[in-house]
């Protein structure tokens, strides 16, 4: 079943600050010599993204369960650089899923990365069964 | 493997054990990632959904594959990394990362199937990655 886009956020400016990249590296076993590949996960915790997910789930009395995650890079992200992030939210009905598709672009508009986050939307009443 | 050879389909990467991660490690990851989902931090909440302990963040585990792949072939550049979170790995439980080459060529790069496995028989993460060979400088 094709996912239906229900909302889009951005583009908004994000960055990879050296100290935050180093802290992320330290907690994920990375060398700390560059931007951790999975660092864009930090951007998906931005308040506007989180609020969209929270509102979507609250309307369904459900919780999101992270099902899969993909990062694909046209150009490796650089510590100290800024990027523009656009996030599209799409839903699938059966089983219920919320799919975030994020595009990371350089300030001059060149695509640098593509991110997909898939979340199962689990009704609170079925939480025990989902475990 | 330390040369710039093209690996063969079926080649296996040496396993790497990570963790176990304690409550402090999960709290630190929550802090640096912004993923402060209480499920990863709250014993009572984890038990309420049938888990013996809070699960390690799937993203934290997936991110470890970067170091795993870099240790195997530091000459290659990771251009794709993804994973499906199949089974939780719980706080206090070590995880073993493994991988094998699916296909490879100097032009397309190296395509890998990846696994993270805890104590359960089924993998916790079934992942994939694509690594690119260094590009020759333009003439």
Domain boundaries, chain B: 12-21+55-132
Distance in Å, alpha carbon of B65 to nearest chain A alpha carbon: 9
Residues B58-116: tens digit of each pLDDT: 999 999 999 999 999 999 999 999 999 999 999 999 999 999 999 999 999 999 999 99
Residues of chain A neighbouring B59 (CB-CB closer than 8 A) = 38, 41, 66, 69
Q: What is the mean pLDDT of residues A57-86?
A: 95
Number of C-beta neighbours around residue A127 at 10 A: 17
CB A101 within 8 A of CB A88: yes
Domain B12-21+55-132, second-level architecture: Roll (3.10)
Q: What is the mean pLDDT of residues B124-138?
A: 89
CA gap A15, B119 in Å, rounded: 37
Which residue in the block uniquely carries the two structure tokens 């459900």? A62
Which residue in the block uniquely carries the two structure tokens 């930090």? A42
Residues of chain B neighbouring A130 (CB-CB closer than 8 A) = 49
Which residue in the block uniquely carries the two structure tokens 């199962």? A120
* CB burial readout B57-95, b (16+ within 10 A) else e: bbbbbbbbbbbbbbebbeebbbbbbbbbbbbbbbbebeb
On whether the A4-130 domain is CATH 3.30.470.20, my answer is: no
* HSE toward the beta carbon, residue B104, CA cutoff 13 A: 20
Query: In chain A, which ranges are E strands?
Result: 4-15, 62-73, 82-92, 97-105, 111-123
Distance of CA B121 to the CA centre of its chain: 17
Asked if A131 and B49 come within 8 Å (Cβ–Cβ), the reply is yes
- Work out the burial of residue B112: count CB atoms within 10 Å of its CB; fewer than 13 is exposed, 13-18 middle, 19 or more buried: buried
Q: What is the pLDDT of residue A129?
A: 53
Q: What is the pLDDT of residue A106?
A: 96
Q: Cβ neighbours of residue B84 under 8 Å, at least 6 residues apart?
A: A67, A68, B125, B126, B127
User: Is the confidence at residue B137, as pLDDT, over 80?
Assistant: no
Q: Which of residues 42-81 of B touch A (CB under 8 A)?
A: 48-51, 58-60, 62-64, 66-68, 70, 77-81
Q: Which two tokens stand for residue B74?
A: 């530091």
ipTM for this model: 0.93
Domain layout of chain A by residue ranges: 4-130
Coil, helix or strand at residue A64: strand
CA gap A104, A114 in Å, rounded: 6
Q: What is the pLDDT of residue B4?
A: 83
Partner residue opposite B82 with nearest CB, options A45, A70, A76: A70
Cα-based angle A33, B32, A100 (whole degrees, multiple of 5):
95
Cα-based angle A81, B106, B12 (whole degrees, multiple of 5):
95
Q: What is the mean pLDDT of residues B21-49?
A: 94
- Work out the burial of residue A123: count CB atoms within 10 Å of its CB; fewer than 13 is exposed, 13-18 middle, 19 or more buried: middle
Q: Which two tokens stand for residue A103?
A: 């595009």
Mutate to test the interface with B, among A17, A31, A65, A71 (most CBs of B within 10 A): A71
Q: Which two tokens stand for residue B17?
A: 């054990």
């Amino acid at each position: 079943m094709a996912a239906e886009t229900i909302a889009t956020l951005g583009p908004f400016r994000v960055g990879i600050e050296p100290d935050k990249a180093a802290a992320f590296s330290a907690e994920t076993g990375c060398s700390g010599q560059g931007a951790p590949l999975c660092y864009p996960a930090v951007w998906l915790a931005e308040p506007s993204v989180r609020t969209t997910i929270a509102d979507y789930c609250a309307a369904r009395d459900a919780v999101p369960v992270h099902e899969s995650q993909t990062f694909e890079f046209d150009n490796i992200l650089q510590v100290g650089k800024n990027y523009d992030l656009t996030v599209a939210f799409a839903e699938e009905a059966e089983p219920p899923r919320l799919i975030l598709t994020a595009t990371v672009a350089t300030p001059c508009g060149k695509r640098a990365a593509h991110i997909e986050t898939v979340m199962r939307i689990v009704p609170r009443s079925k939480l025990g069964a989902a475990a | 493997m330390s040369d710039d050879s093209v690996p063969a389909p079926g080649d296996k990467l040496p396993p790497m054990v990570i963790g176990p991660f304690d409550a402090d490690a999960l709290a630190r990851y929550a802090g640096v990632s912004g993923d402060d989902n209480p499920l990863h931090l709250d014993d009572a909440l984890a038990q309420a959904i049938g888990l013996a302990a809070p699960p390690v963040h799937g993203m934290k585990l997936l991110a470890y594959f970067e170091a795993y792949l870099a240790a195997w072939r530091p000459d290659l550049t990771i251009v794709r990394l993804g994973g499906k979170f199949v089974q939780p790995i719980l706080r206090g439980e070590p995880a073993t990362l493994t991988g094998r080459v699916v296909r490879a060529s100097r032009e397309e790069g190296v395509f890998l199937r990846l696994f993270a496995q805890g104590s359960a028989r089924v993998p916790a993460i079934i992942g994939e990655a694509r690594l690119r060979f260094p590009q020759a400088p333009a003439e």
